[in-house]
């Protein structure tokens, strides 16, 4: 990948977000690759929306590129909440590339991909409706809460200006793709328990270690009164998909 962004595409644009999109979109076309298959390129999709969309010419996997000059932290702004929610439930939401570039040099510092199946309804949060102005009045935006996505589903392609091998990126993508077989509405729980598992300091843990997250999970799922059985069920789901091992009853190992 060429880490220098093609700034000449931004000539004549003053609006910062428009300018960034003009510059990062052609960069994506020349540098992004498909994380789901062996395709070394993605095609930019012509559209009139405020987003940069890419399509894999081989496996038809869709990607959306989000970029900003600050390091991407917890929250990413998205456009249409209802459309995104429907896309998630219908298994056709895009994968997200998150690009962080450095100014004034316009160089890429960090890039990661979030596979679409790691985005459950619980990580998109509806924003307050916009004021009754402009063409937007019929829909509300959303915030993608990246902090709620497990670390293993935020797959780095570039870390602090250093590229990771594409083979490693694709292996990590394929690993998390194992939860694809779950229905979209079931994945929220699985991903939340995986996130808790990944935040434990030790790869070996017991049921009690993960029950420590019960208050947090109860906040996310206020209607569920059986959190511990649900946690145990999700640990089995993760085990059956090869994301955990179970050396003995009640003992687990992160893989």
Q: Which residues form the interface with Zn ion (CB under 5 A)?
A: 34, 36-37, 39, 56, 58-59, 61
Q: CB-wise, 55 or 227, nearer to Zn ion? A: 55
- For the chain, the C-alpha Rg in angstroms (whole number) is 19
Closest contact distance (angstroms) between CB of 126 and Zn ion is 31
Closest contact distance (angstroms) between CB of 40 and Zn ion is 10
Closest contact distance (angstroms) between CB of 165 and Zn ion is 17
Q: CB-wise, 97 or 106, nearer to Zn ion? A: 97
CB-based contact 114:154 (threshold 8 Å): yes
Q: CB-wise, 42 or 217, nearer to Zn ion? A: 42
For residue 71, give both structure tokens.
Answer: 């390091």
Q: CB-wise, 40 or 105, nearer to Zn ion? A: 40
For the chain, the distance separating the N- and C-terminal CA atoms, rounded to the nearest angstrom, is 30
Q: CB-wise, 56 or 111, nearer to Zn ion? A: 56
Burial of 246: CB neighbours in 10 Å, binned 0-12, 13-18, 19+: middle
Within 10 angstroms of residue 151's Cβ, the number of other Cβ atoms is 10
Closest contact distance (angstroms) between CB of 145 and Zn ion is 27
Closest contact distance (angstroms) between CB of 112 and Zn ion is 17
| Local structure of 55: helix, strand or coil | strand
What span, in angstroms and rounded, lies between the C-alpha atoms of 218 and 225? 8
| Local structure of 64: helix, strand or coil | strand
Q: CB-wise, 34 or 153, nearer to Zn ion? A: 34
Within 10 angstroms of residue 253's Cβ, the number of other Cβ atoms is 13
Q: CB-wise, 33 or 106, nearer to Zn ion? A: 33
Closest contact distance (angstroms) between CB of 3 and Zn ion is 23
What span, in angstroms and rounded, lies between the C-alpha atoms of 90 and 60? 16
Alpha helix ranges (H) inside the chain: 16-31, 81-89, 166-176, 184-198, 207-211, 214-220, 227-240
Closest contact distance (angstroms) between CB of 36 and Zn ion is 5
């Amino acid at each position: 990948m060429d880490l220098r962004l093609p700034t000449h595409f931004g000539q004549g644009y003053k609006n910062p977000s428009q300018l960034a999109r003009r510059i990062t979109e052609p960069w994506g076309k020349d540098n992004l690759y498909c994380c789901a298959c062996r395709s070394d390129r993605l095609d930019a999709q012509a559209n009139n929306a405020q987003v940069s969309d890419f399509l894999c010419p081989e496996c038809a996997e869709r990607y959306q590129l989000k970029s900003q000059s600050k390091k991407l932290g917890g929250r990413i702004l998205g456009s249409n909440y209802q459309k995104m929610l429907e896309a998630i439930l219908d298994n056709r939401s895009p994968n997200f590339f998150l690009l962080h570039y450095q100014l004034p040099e316009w160089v890429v510092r960090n890039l990661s991909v979030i596979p679409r199946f790691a985005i459950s309804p619980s990580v998109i949060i509806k924003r307050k409706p916009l004021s009754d102005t402009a063409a937007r009045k019929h829909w509300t935006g959303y915030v993608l809460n990246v902090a709620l996505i497990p670390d293993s589903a935020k797959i780095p392609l570039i870390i602090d200006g250093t590229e990771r091998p594409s083979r490693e990126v694709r292996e990590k993508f394929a690993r998390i793709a194992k939860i694809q077989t779950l229905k979209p509405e079931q994945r929220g729980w699985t991903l939340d328990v995986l996130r808790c598992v990944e935040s434990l300091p030790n790869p070996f843990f017991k049921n009690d270690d993960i029950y420590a997250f019960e208050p947090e999970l109860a906040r996310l799922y206020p209607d569920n009164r059986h959190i511990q059985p649900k946690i145990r069920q999700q640990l089995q789901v993760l085990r059956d998909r090869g994301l955990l091992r179970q050396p003995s009853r009640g003992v687990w190992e992160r893989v």
